[in-house]
């Protein structure tokens, strides 16, 4: 694989980052994951905008213009012959040469790393046909989940808790209300209404979420943006998640409770179809 690091395209084993990098020492960095379908980037502009916002919120210098970033994405897709897959992008506050809690001088160069992940048949995921099963876990993350930081230890532990419980993923719950999945936004369907948490600092503002809500409204589906409880979710007709890597993925079981007849529901399935159609 060819990867990008600080201006260079290199074979992955030759790419190096300093041991003093603040991403490594302090999780002081942000990231984006953009999907590629049929060689085409999905929603690059949305990811670039959110990256800019995350950098701004943390006062990390924006390393380059969006056009230059797009060029690197395209170059990596071409060099690695990616048909279907993902591009991971990370920007950290850089490597000031020692460990210090205070931010380094503003002129410190941010570290920029991008790499590709090939996922042949990304849109034909078998899990979309059966749906996934989830458990709920307490949300004990920090309070600025709207910033896409590389601080992913708890979501990673959540994924392991799900695995240990024999299921696929976990939804995080705060004050009885679902915030989001370990690496995705969460939705339930009651009758004809899609319910998903309103935007705020409690969740990541998903790029897939924005697209899916737009498609839902265009298809005359009813959408309510509000917090819902985990109990309400267990009684829902359908549930699903969205993210750049899973698109729209039906959820068929929550904490051992089967939703509906245990098969992916019509709303989730239809939204998945529309999302993939529109992204091709
Ligand atoms: N995760 N919520 C969280 C906590 C996430 O980590 C993600 C994305 C989302 C969905 O956002 P988007 O639709 O923009 O992908 C919601 C990425 C895919 C990841 O960490 O791999």
Predicted local distance difference test score (pLDDT) of residue 106: 87
Q: With helix as H, strand as E and coil as C, how does 52-78 read?
A: HHHHHHCCCCCCCCHHHHHHHHHHHHH
DSSP H or E run through 276? helix 266-279
258 C-alpha to ligand 1 centroid (Å): 25
Those residues whose C-beta lies under 8 Å from the C-beta of residue 221, and which sit 6 or more positions away, are: 192, 194, 267, 271
Same domain assignment for residues 264 and 161: yes
DSSP 3-state of 7: coil
Tell if the pTM clears 0.95, that is, is over it: yes
Hey, is 200 helix, strand or coil? coil
Q: Is the CB of 268 under 6 A from ligand 1?
A: no
Q: Which helix (H) or strand (E) holds 267?
A: helix 266-279
Structure tokens at 186: 């969460």
Same domain as 160, residue 54? no
In this structure, the residue with its CA closest to atom 19 of ligand 1 is: 183
| CATH at 36 | 3.30.470.10
E strands within the chain?
Answer: 2-5, 8-11, 29-37, 40-41, 85-92, 111-118, 132-138, 169-174, 177-181, 185-190, 193-196, 222-225, 238-243, 247-254, 257-258
92 and 135: one domain?
Answer: no
How far is the centre of ligand 1, averaged over its atoms, from the C-alpha of 243 (Å)? 5
Tell me, what's the pLDDT at 26?
98
Residues 173 and 74 both lie in one domain? no
- Is 101 in the same domain as 133? no
Assess whether 57 and 72 both reside in one domain: yes
What is the spatial distance between Cα 158 and Cα 161, in angstroms, rounded to a whole number? 5
**ipTM of the prediction:** 0.99
Task: Spell out, as residue ranges, where the chain has pLDDT lower than 70.
Answer: none
Regarding whether 100 and 35 lie in a shared domain, the answer is yes
Q: Is the CB–ligand 1 distance for residue 185 below 6 Å?
A: yes
- 198 and 62 co-located in one domain: no
Q: Which pairing describes strands 193-196 and 222-225: parallel, antiparallel, or unpaired? A: parallel
Which two tokens mark 206? 């998903």
Q: What residue numbers bound the domain in which 25 lies?
A: 2-120
Helix count and strand count (H, E) for the chain:
8, 15
Tokens of 157: 């532990």
Residue 209, ligand 1, Cβ within 6 A: yes
Distance CA 225, CA 197 (A): 5
Burial class (CB in 10 A: 0-12, 13-18, 19+), 82: buried
Sign of CA dihedral 11, 13, 18, 23: positive
Is the same domain home to 108 and 180? no
The Cα angle at residue 262 between residues 261 and 264, in degrees rounded to 5: 100
What is the per-residue pLDDT for 44? 98
> Any bridge partners for residue 69, and if so which?
none
Q: Does residue 208 line the site of ligand 1, with CB under 6 A?
A: yes
**Which protein residue's CA is at the shortest distance from atom 17 of ligand 1?**
183
- Indicate whether 69 and 149 sit together in one domain: no
Q: Are residues 11 and 115 in the same domain?
A: yes
Q: Please check whether residues 224 and 165 belong to one and the same domain.
A: yes
Q: Which residues are catalytic?
A: 148
Beta carbon of 149 within 6 Å of any ligand 1 atom: no
Q: Choose the final residue of a domain: 120, 152, 168.
A: 120
End residue of a domain, out of 120, 153, 182: 120
Pocket test for ligand 1, best of 89, 90, 184, 215 (most atoms within 8 A of CB): 184
The structural domain count of the chain equals 2
CATH assignment at residue 234: 3.20.10.10
The Cα 46–Cα 58 span in angstroms is 19
**Which among 120, 144, 171 is the end of a domain?**
120
Q: Which residue matches tokens 């020692």?
A: 98
Residue of minimum CA distance from atom 20 in ligand 1 = 183
| Spatial separation of the C-alpha atoms in residues 219 and 222, rounded to whole Å | 9
For residue 155, the ligand 1 atom closest to its alpha carbon is 4
């Amino acid at each position: 694989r060819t990867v990008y690091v600080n201006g260079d395209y290199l074979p992955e084993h030759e790419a190096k980052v300093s041991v003093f990098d603040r991403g490594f020492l302090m999780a002081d960095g942000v990231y984006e994951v953009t999907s590629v379908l049929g060689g085409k980037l999905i929603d690059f502009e949305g990811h670039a905008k959110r990256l800019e916002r995350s950098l701004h919120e943390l006062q990390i210098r924006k390393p380059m213009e969006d056009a230059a970033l797009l060029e690197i994405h395209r170059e990596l897709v071409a060099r690695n012959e990616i048909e279907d897959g993902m591009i991971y992008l990370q920007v950290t506050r850089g490597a000031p040469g020692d460990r210090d809690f205070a931010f380094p001088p503003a002129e410190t160069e941010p570290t920029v790393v991008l790499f590709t992940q090939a996922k042949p048949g990304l849109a034909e995921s078998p899990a979309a046909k059966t749906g996934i099963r989830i458990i709920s876990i307490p949300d004990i993350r920090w309070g600025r989940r709207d910033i896409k930081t590389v601080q992913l230890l708890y979501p990673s532990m959540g994924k392991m808790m799900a695995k240990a419980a024999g299921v696929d993923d976990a939804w995080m719950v705060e004050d009885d209300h679902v915030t989001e999945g370990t690496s995705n936004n969460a939705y339930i369907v009651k009758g004809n209404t899609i319910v998903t948490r309103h935007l705020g600092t409690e969740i990541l503002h998903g790029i897939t979420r924005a697209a899916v809500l737009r498609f839902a409204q265009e298809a005359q589906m009813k959408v309510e943006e509000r917090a819902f409880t985990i109990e309400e979710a267990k009684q829902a007709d359908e549930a699903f998640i969205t993210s750049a890597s899973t698109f729209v993925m039906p959820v068929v079981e929550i904490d051992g409770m089967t939703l509906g007849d245990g098969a992916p529901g019509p709303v989730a399935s239809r939204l998945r179809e529309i999302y993939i159609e529109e992204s091709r």
